[in-house]
Structure formats: structure tokens, C-alpha cells
Amino acid sequence: MLDVFIEQKSQQLIYYVSRFLRGQIPHRELHLFIWDTLEEWAQLKVSHHTPATFREQVFWHVLYQLEYWSEQELQRDKILRKQLQNCLGYLRGKVCLPLDCVGIRP
């Protein structure tokens, strides 16, 4: 159940973040996706003893970054954008694990 959730939400996250970074969707739509995801997560019964995979850690890291930084910083900060793109590349299975992208469950 947990793996299915992370896989499905990772694909949706890639879609939303990629389009936001290209200016194709507004920030509020990205924000709504994040909060919908958190609501769905809250309904899962995941034991805190279950270790998170690297994929899950990167997934939570991206969500955190998107909520932590302002819309303007997400649009203008080239280093931040590159880090997000690296994380998305990992979630796509295209690049190695980014060492600086370790998130924890909410």
C-alpha cells in the first residue's frame, strides 16, 4: 500500500512540478496538489517502524521544498530549481540518488 501510494503520487508530483517550473500551471494548483496528497497520506495507516525507501525520502523532500520556498523563489532561484529537477530525475528513474535530498514523513 505504501509503495503504491509513493509511486502514484511521485508520478503526479513529477507532472505538477515540471509544469509549474515551465510556467504552465499556477502555484496555487501545485499547492492544492500538495495538500490533497497530505490528506490522502493521513488516511493511510503506515507504521512509524516501517523504514522509508530512498524514493520516499526524495518524494517528501520535494514536497517540503515546494511548501517551504515562496512562489517567487521557486520561479527565480536557479540552484533551487536545479535541485528540484535532480530530484524529479531520480523519481523518474533517470539519475542517481541526489545525496542532499532526504525528506522525512509528515
24 assigned to some structural domain: yes
* 34, 71 contact by CB (below 8 A): no
What count of other Cβ atoms lies within 10 Å of the Cβ of residue 90?
Answer: 21
Helix, strand, coil % (nearest 5) of the chain?
70, 0, 30
The verdict on residue 102 lying in a domain is no
pLDDT of 84 reads 97
What is the distance, to the nearest Å, from the Cα of residue 101 to the centroid of all Cα atoms in its chain? 10
Instruction: Tell me what pLDDT residue 48 has.
Output: 83
**Own/partner pairs for 34-37, CB < 8 Å, 24+ apart?**
34/63, 34/66, 34/67, 37/9, 37/12, 37/13, 37/63
Neighbouring C-beta atoms of residue 50, cutoff 10 Å: 10
How many structural domains are present in the chain? 1
Q: Is residue 98 part of a domain?
A: no
pLDDT at 47: 84
Residue 47 lies in a domain: no
Does residue 106 belong to any structural domain of this protein?
Answer: no
What number of H helices and E strands is found in the chain? Answer: 5, 0
Whether residue 97 is contained in a domain is answered as: no
Parent domain of 79: 2-38+53-92
In a domain, 66, yes or no: yes
Q: What pLDDT score does 22 carry?
A: 96
**pLDDT in 10s for each residue of the chain, 106 residues:** 899 999 999 999 999 999 999 999 999 999 999 999 999 999 998 888 889 999 999 999 999 999 999 999 999 999 999 999 999 999 999 999 998 888 999 8
Q: Is residue 8 part of a domain?
A: yes
